[in-house]
Amino acid sequence: MGVVAPGFPEFVANPRRNAGFSPGNISSRSCRWIHSTRFVRSSVAPSIGARDPEASYETITAEVVESKSVGLLMLNRPQVLNALSEVCMREVVAALKGFDALPEVGAIVISGKGKAFAAGVDIKELKNKTMVDSFVNPVLDQWNQVSRIRKPLIAAVNGYALGGGCELAMMCDIILVGEKAVFGQPEIKIGTIPGMGGTQRLIREVGKSRAMEMILTGERFMDAKEACQRGLASRVIEGTNEELVAEAVAMAKNISGMSRPAVIMAKAAVNAAYESHLEEGVKREQAFFGATFGLEDRSEGMAAFFEKRKPNFQNK
């Protein structure tokens, strides 16, 4: 569920080729799976709840940048260290769905304004909730939709990413960190546990022992250097928050220049490693690999390689 860390100054209490490929390697189950998920489309239909990503929001800012090839979403509650209120949750999901539905956008960057990425879910909204509330109106369930965004998500983590902020970052595909980034899951200190995937994703990122230490003590936060050493984050970007976001946007622009359907399939294949055992994951990868041979972009990419020129992908 991700809440803010007790002990910080009020801390919001106010507040991640197969050269031997052959059709015979693909199981019928994998073929059905790839067909049903429709990852080979060059764009996606607007999802329920999607909004114009550049619409006016209360708790975030959202815009398309770099010739409209990159979606940039900024959490915008710096006065409470970007605590994730219910309104903020809904707006983040709506904007991400909006970006996902824009054919020209190839990747999305998420960051936070001020001294934090996000210091957790807004505790004031949780204080009086009951067990019945969590089942009848499972607000946190909507965060599962973040991990269903098909285009690559890049988190630019500047400062605190605690509780729900840590969990939101882990829902992204790539995490870039500033020098002052701090990750933690302090929910146990207020009598609860992570509820946005923290117990499931953190162990996959940093191992059982380190995850248990962070979750069971609510302390022993992870800094930028350790996050990169353990594989939670990709790399540290030195400099200001603006430079961190600029680096994330540059990466997103680079990804946007690749074949859109190939990128979507690559993301889905990597994520299959989280969702299945090795044999099934390899089957899914090979199914996607075979599917790329139905793309005009694959023909263009290989032609460009032999002709020693930059490919002109058409996202189809």
Of the two residues 311 and 143, the one the predictor is more confident about is 311
Sign of the dihedral through C-alpha 112, 113, 115, 120: negative
pTM of the model: 0.79
pLDDT at 49: 57
Q: What is the mean pLDDT of residues 112-122?
A: 92
User: Would the pLDDT of 189 be above 60?
Assistant: yes
Of the two residues 8 and 107, the one the predictor is more confident about is 107
CATH (residue range 60-257)? 3.90.226.10
Q: What is the mean pLDDT of residues 8-18?
A: 35
258, 124 Cβ separation under 8 angstroms: no
CATH (residue range 260-307)? 1.10.12
- Domain residues of the chain, as ranges? 60-257, 260-307
Worst-scoring range by mean pLDDT, 70-74, 105-109, 286-290? 286-290
User: Would the pLDDT of 42 be above 80?
Assistant: no
Worst-scoring range by mean pLDDT, 120-124, 182-186, 221-225? 120-124
Q: What is the mean pLDDT of residues 241-267?
A: 97
Spatial strand order in the sheet of 153-157: 60-65, 70-75, 107-112, 153-157, 174-178, 235-237
DSSP state of 121: B
Per-range mean pLDDT, top range of 169-183, 261-275, 287-301: 169-183
Q: What is the mean pLDDT of residues 16-29?
A: 37
Buried b (16+ CB within 10 A) or exposed e, 158-172: bbbbbbbbbbbbbbb
User: Please, how many CA atoms are within 13 Å of residue 181, restricted to the half-sphere of its CB?
Assistant: 34
Average per-residue pLDDT in the chain?
83
Helix (H) or strand (E) holding 98: helix 86-101
DSSP calls for 274-307: HHS-HHHHHHHHHHHHHHHTT-HHHHHHHHHHHT
pLDDT at 137: 67
Per-residue pLDDT band at 275 (split at 50, 70, 90): confident
